[in-house]
Structure 1
Amino acid sequence: MSFGTYARRVRDVGAPAARRHTALRCAVSEYCPLGFHATWAYVSATALPSPDLRRDSTALLRALDALESSRAVRIAEGASFAARRRAEKAAGLRTPRGAPVAQVWRPHWPTPVGTAPSRLGLVAAVADRHRAFRRLSAPDGTPVTNGLASEGRAARLTELHGRLEACGTAYLTALGLPDAAARDELSDTVTGIRGEVRPGHAALNHRLFQWLGFADLLGYALVVAPAR
């Protein structure tokens, strides 16, 4: 079913609360610019004063409003990009110009021009993914067998894991108001992690890509200028 169908179910005040709650989760699965779990944390936080979307009908609607508003901006951005590309192709320009296309595939909360994402929402999203990152198996410094990593590489991975975890903790401690040093530290940490990725389907790549997924969200939260 479509996003619109799920949105109508959320707005059906005559439906059971559990059904409306499930419909909102389905709507998030259809549009999740920060990833499903981070997007759910974002809209749940911005639905305050009550974060309990299972019992608070008005909070449920506020969460849907936040999701729909962002989705409308994303649709408009996509239409604008498509129109620009048609014009560029007609002019013989095969390479996209203007805004970077890669941003579409990375965590990004679209907002109308002149507005910023909710700082509370971004803090909640990072907190959710920070908890998930900490649950990932961390390298313990033991060399990986079968020649997949040297003892030195295992030590580097342990250090990088700790640094990324610390970057997340620093952002949350600052309540989403980081300083330049925090941005520089994350950038340096990400460079180190990317340097450990190997070509092809190396055994450790899956773990590193999980780390980089969290780093992408954290990096977006660090550089965006959210409303206070």
Structure 2
Amino acid sequence: MTSFLAQRAHVHDARLPLGRRHSALRTCITLFAPYGLRATYHHLTLSAAIPRQLEADPDALVRAVDELHQARVLWRVRAEEYAAHRRAEKRAGRRAVPEPRP
């Protein structure tokens, strides 16, 4: 299993062929896809303006992976805050399944 940060480093590595860097971006998306795989790829393609011919703008891959990384950092912070909150509730004996809506 590969890590998001290792694949992000591959995207940033200008010594690698563009195809390999693009593959690393796609791997990053499989590891963190906030909108789902296809929707996240589509969003990044539009927001980073990734061209069909990667040679036209190789920096687009870096823009895309940086946007994805920023979203992942925010998500991880929120997930950790939520986990800490849930642990505190459990220690206080207040952790319970919420009542279903009527």
1:94 equivalent to 2:75? Answer: no
Cα distance in 2 for partners of 1:95, 1:33 equals 27
Cα distance in 1 for partners of 2:31, 2:43 equals 15
**Alignment partner, residue 65 of structure 2:** 64
Task: Return the TM-score normalized by structure 1.
Answer: 0.40
**Within 5 A, what are the aligned runs for 1:157-196?**
none
Code of the residue aligned with 1:10 in structure 2: it is V
**Within 5 A, what are the aligned runs for 1:45-124?**
45-48=46-49, 51-52=50-51, 54-55=54-55, 56-95=57-96
Q: Is the 8 A contact 1:88 1:94 kept in 2?
A: yes
Task: Return the TM-score normalized by structure 2.
Answer: 0.87
The offset of 1:37, in angstroms, is: 0.5
The offset of 1:73, in angstroms, is: 0.4
Cα distance in 2 for partners of 1:6, 1:70 equals 16
Unaligned runs of 5+ in 1: 98-228
Cα distance in 1 for partners of 2:97, 2:64 equals 34
Code of the residue aligned with 1:16 in structure 2: it is P
The 1:96–1:7 alpha-carbon spacing in structure 2 relative to 1, beyond 3 Å, is farther
Unaligned runs of 5+ in 2: none
The count of corresponding residues between Structure 1 and Structure 2 is 95
The offset of 1:96, in angstroms, is: 6.5
Question: What RMSD over aligned residues (CA atoms) do the two structures have, in Å?
Answer: 1.5
Larger radius of gyration: 1
